[in-house]
Amino acid sequence: MAADDGVELSRSMLDFARTTEDTTGYSSCDIRDLIKQSIDSTMPKWRNMAKAKGINYHLKSSAVCEVPAILCNPTKLRLVFVNIINNALDAMPEGGTIGFCTWFSGDTVFVTISDTGEGMTEEVMKYVFDPFITTKDFLGSGLGMSTAYGIITGHGGKMEVESEIGKGSIFSIQLPVSTEVDCAERSLGREQK
């Protein structure tokens, strides 16, 4: 799964400037499974960082509620969650809480991922979804959030951030609940162009 996700990262960087939807690898997914798999794959990092620094990270997932299945590329969506989780861990050098919340309204599934970390300045927040924006010097490439943004918009969704210095950050994602028919029509539309 990690190797597949790495391959998908390279593809997603190439996808970044794509404006039409690429439905390759789409399947019907329960977003709660993707969140759980992303948490599981990053858990060694949580444990190692906590152990090395003598700190605690808490996971709050009680607000992860049942939502309709979405048609998506699961590898790409896992990459979005993994990038957000890794940033949250980096932003909490003293430990803290990462919270996940899911709900839906009409034809839209909503996901928020919050942390109780350092937060970001207005300037960083303004450009966080642009490529090569990093405050991590040589430790960060500044591609995590631009890749995530490209993936979410590529799925016909929206991604936003709110943050307050010293309090934490919250990333909000909206994804359309779409049917197999919608997806097939979108693919067909692209082939005909």
Ligand X SMILES: Nc1ncnc2c1ncn2[C@@H]1O[C@H](COP(=O)(O)OP(=O)(O)OP(=O)(O)O)[C@@H](O)[C@H]1O
Options 5-13, 17-25, 98-106, 134-142: segment touching ligand X (CB under 6 A) = 134-142
Question: 172 is written with which tokens?
Answer: 């909000």
Q: Considering the rule CB under 6 A, would residue 60 count as an interface residue with ligand X?
A: no
Stretch that binds ligand X, among 37-45, 66-74, 84-92, 174-182 (CB under 6 A): 84-92
> Taking CB under 6 A as the rule, does residue 142 contact ligand X?
yes
What is d(CA 185, CA 101) in angstroms, rounded to the nearest whole number?
Answer: 31
User: What is the phi/psi pair of residue 48, to 5°?
Assistant: -65, -45
The one of ligand X, Mg ion, none whose footprint includes residue 23, by CB under 5 to 8 A per kind, is none
Cα(100)–Cα(61) distance, rounded to whole angstroms?
A: 5
CA distance readout (Å), 52 to 46, 48, 59, 117, 139: 10, 6, 18, 18, 18
Residues 103-132 that bind ligand X (CB under 6 A): 115, 117-120, 124, 128
According to CB under 6 A, which one of 144, 150, 154, 157 is a site residue for ligand X?
144
Q: Which of 12, 38, 169, 178 binds ligand X (CB under 6 A)?
A: 169
DSSP classification of residue 142: S
* Contact positions vs Mg ion (CB under 5 A): 87, 144
